[in-house]
Amino acid sequence: MIDVLDAVKTYGEVRVVDGVRLALPSGGLTSIIGPNGAGKSTLLSLVARLVGLDGGRVLVDGLDVTTTKSDVLARRIAALRQENHLASRLTVRDLVTFGRYPHSKGRTTPEDLEHVARAIEFLDLGSLADRFLDEMSGGQRQRAFVAMVLCQDTDVLLLDEPLNNLDPRHAVAMMERLRAAADQLGKTVVVVVHDINVAAYYSDHIVAMSDGAVMFEGPPHAVICPEVLSDVYGLPVSVHTIEGRPHATYFR
Amino acid sequence: MPRLGVVAGAVGLLALVSLFVGVGDVTPVDLARAVVGGDSAERHDLLLLLVSRVPRTIAIILAGAGMAIAGQIMQLLSRNRFVEPSTAGTVESAAIGILAVTVLAPGAPVIVKMIVATCTALAGTALFLRILRYVPLRSVLVVPLVGLMLGGIINAVTTFFAYRLDLLQSLNVWMTGDFSGVLRGRYELLWLTFALTVLAFVVADRFTVAGMGQDFVTTLGMNYRAVLALGLSIVSMVTAVVVVTVGAIPFLGLVVPNLVALIFGDNLRRTAPWVALGGAGFVLVCDLVGRTVRYPYEVPIGVVVGVVGSALFLVMLLRRDARVA
Ligand SMILES: Nc1ncnc2c1ncn2[C@@H]1O[C@H](COP(=O)(O)OP(=O)(O)OP(=O)(O)O)[C@@H](O)[C@H]1O
Ligand SMILES: [Mg+2]
């Protein structure tokens, strides 16, 4: 579904994404982990065509993201950036409704409204739907942005740190929703997360990045081991098995 | 929350009042007599109404609505609350175009002036947005300051040539809005702003999404450059038409959209009718003030709007800071 072929992105002299090769199958949830500045967000932005490639290619569903028309891609890829700052004043419902734009082109149908209502419900925003985003808390705002992405109803969902600002309850609910999107709706979900255990618990596949390159990838049990994680983060990490599942701990 | 119908009614009422206030006294009773064939004085009233008062009121409504919408679009495109055609170099750029036509082709019809002014306004505003890309610290207040400086530079150039060519008085006419010269046959170009306002409403979603930032524009499958080009064209043309026909009306595009945003937010599809009505109402009130405050003399609308607008704006600025802090 997502094929990254030797993708390169340079800023000045620095290759922040340095010849990444990835092939993610259709369906399933992939987590990208790695230290700050590893190039996770940049890689996700390259796939979402929000940042231009300096080398290599990215194919989504066989479509080259640099040459395919943007409105065609908008019906296949939805992306959430790590930081979302709006200068304008919009309500939650406005924002989520704009997620339907690729389908409705501004003429919202009853079906679109159904999607909007479902996404709002899904992210527990029912009581906040008509509030302005600039008058809400960070976590509430984060959920609204994710609702917008879900509302776009694309086969591919790219979410850069969707758990930002979320309390444990909403974080768990978010991951469960994304898991359900992959399992029940067959979506291809890619998330960037910093919590290794969340990645281990919810993903089918984990990609560990460092210095613009993919260091390891594989199923959770292959990546969640002390050698790999210590190497990726440059920090001693030990892995314990709790209730039959691997758990990384990194406090000394 | 106010209702659109009520506000529309209020603006309609203001328009009626505007029809019957002025140096030459026209009363509804005289008019009724004139229609059924009154004496010559009464017929003169009817003529006055049709040739001067009605065009003037229409011009006020069209220019007010158009400039307010243009301001809102500029704010969305630049993602800054404090930008509007008079704080982005647009008005000054339009004026330089008009000056060029006046000098190079003195006999050219007003439509030519309008087209050239649109082009120069477009170039000036595009330059403003380009400069913004290189401003390292895009603080909220730096953006309009950059626009004011750009406008100042362009204005200096225009003033220099106007001075050399003995056209300072004309320049003053373009830069200061004034509806007292509006007569039948000399304002009809303003209907173009009506068409542009309707167009802005039709494509409103694109501008709202542009206001959310380039990434949202791309994710939702729009072409950022196309949205920008469309928005800038609408803003430039509205500004050019208004400057050519009645002169610049500053601050309007700043005050009205900001007031509307406080209550209704920035979703242009929802706010456009409010912004348009608010703009029309605001200019109607300022025009009435300008006509009555020194009766029987008139204070140009540009002056009244400037004073009322900047005062209102200052209040909003202070209250806004208080709210955020
Ligand atoms: N616009 C830019 N200009 C210059 N350098 C950039 C730009 N964006 C990112 N970088 C650099 O590219 C590198 C990768 O950044 P990226 O945002 O992809 O990291 P990340 O893995 O998402 O990190 P984090 O976990 O902190 O979000 C960093 O070193 C960053 O400084
Ligand atoms: Mg990141």
- CA A43 to CA A15: how far, in whole Å? 12
Q: Is A247 helix (H, G, I), strand (E, B) or coil?
A: strand
Contact A48, A158 (CB under 8 A): yes
Q: Helix B4-20 vs helix B54-78: angle between axes, to the nearest 10 degrees?
A: 140
Name the helix (H) or strand (E) containing A198: helix A196-202
Domains of chain B: 56-324 (1.10.3470.10)
Give the count of beta carbons closer than 10 Å to the beta carbon of residue B308: 18
Q: Check residue A132 and give its pLDDT.
A: 93
- What is the per-residue pLDDT across A210-236, written as a single tens digit (0 to 9) for each? 999 999 999 998 888 888 888 888 888
Q: Does the Cβ of A11 fall within 6 Å of ligand 1?
A: yes
Contact A82 CB / ligand 1 (< 6 Å): yes
Lowest mean pLDDT among B37-51, B94-108, B122-136, B247-261: B37-51
Average pLDDT over residues B45-71: 87
Residues 47-76 of B with CB under 8 A from A: 75-76
Paired strand residues for A241: A246
> Are A143 and A123 in contact, with CB atoms under 8 Å apart?
yes
- Residue A205 contacts residue A24 (beta carbons within 8 Å): yes
> Which tokens hold the place of A122?
């899904």
* Dihedral of the alpha carbons of B211, B212, B214, B215, in degrees to the nearest 10: -170
CA A31 vs CA A179, A208, B129, B146: distances in Å: 11, 8, 38, 43
Q: Do B218 and A132 touch (CB under 8 A)?
A: no
Encode pLDDT of B290-303 as tens digits.
888 887 788 888 88
* Structural contact between residues B299 and B306, judged by C-beta atoms closer than 8 angstroms: no
B85 prior amide bond cis, ω within 30: no
Q: Characterise A189 by phi-psi region: left (phi > 0), alpha (psi -120 to 50), beta (else).
A: beta
Q: Could you tell me the distance, in angstroms and rounded to a whole number, from the CA of residue A133 to the centre of ligand 1?
A: 26
Best mutation site among A77, A101, A132, A146 for testing chain B: the one with the most B CBs within 10 Å?
A: A101
Rounded Cα–Cα distance for residues B195 and B68 (Å): 14
Q: Distance (Å, rounded) from C-alpha A157 to C-alpha A61?
A: 13
pLDDT confidence of residue B295 = 77
pLDDT at B317 over 80: no
Question: Using an 8 Å Cβ cutoff, are A58 and A4 in contact?
Answer: yes
- The pLDDT, as a whole number, for residue B297 is 83
Which of these ranges, A142-146, A161-165, B42-46, B122-126, has the smallest mean pLDDT? B42-46
- Residue nearest ligand 1's atom 17 by CA: A41
Distance between CA atoms of residues B221 and B218, nearest Å: 5
Q: How confident is the model at residue A50 (pLDDT cuts 50, 70, 90)?
A: very high
Residue B48 to residue B30: CA distance in whole angstroms: 12
Which DSSP letter does residue B49 get?
I
Q: What is the pTM of this model?
A: 0.89
Higher pLDDT, A112 or B306: A112
The model's pLDDT over B139-186, given as tens digits with 9 standing for 90+, comes to 777 888 889 999 999 999 999 999 998 888 888 888 888 888 787 777
User: Is B221 in contact with A72 (Cβ distance < 8 A)?
Assistant: yes
Q: How far apart are CA B132 and CA B146, in angstroms?
A: 8
> Residue A136: its chain B contacts at CB < 8 A?
none
Look at residue B23 in the predicted model and tell me its pLDDT: 55
Q: Which ligand is the nearest neighbour of the Cα of A36? A: 1
More confident residue, B158 or B40: B158
Place of tokens 């200096």: B156
Rounded to whole angstroms, the Cα distance separating A194 from A229 reads 12
Q: Do B208 and A75 touch (CB under 8 A)?
A: no
**b/e string for A21-53 if b means 16 or more Cβ within 10 A?**
ebebeebbbbbbbbeeebbbbbbbbbbbbbbeb
* Whether the predicted pLDDT of B38 surpasses 80: no
pLDDT digits (tens, 9 = 90+) for A163-192: 999 999 999 999 999 999 999 999 999 999
CA–centroid distance, A42 to ligand 1, in Å, is 6
Assign A252 a pLDDT band (cuts: 50, 70, 90): low
Give the minimum alpha-carbon distance from A157 to chain B in angstroms, rounded to a whole number: 11
Q: Measure the CA–CA gap between A137 and A70, rounded to whole angstroms.
A: 32
Count the neighbouring beta carbons within 10 Å of the beta carbon of residue A56. Answer: 16
| Runs of H (alpha helix) within chain B | 4-20, 28-35, 40-48, 54-78, 90-104, 110-134, 142-164, 168-175, 191-202, 204-212, 214-219, 224-245, 252-264, 268-292, 301-324
Which of B275 and B189 is assigned the larger pLDDT? B275
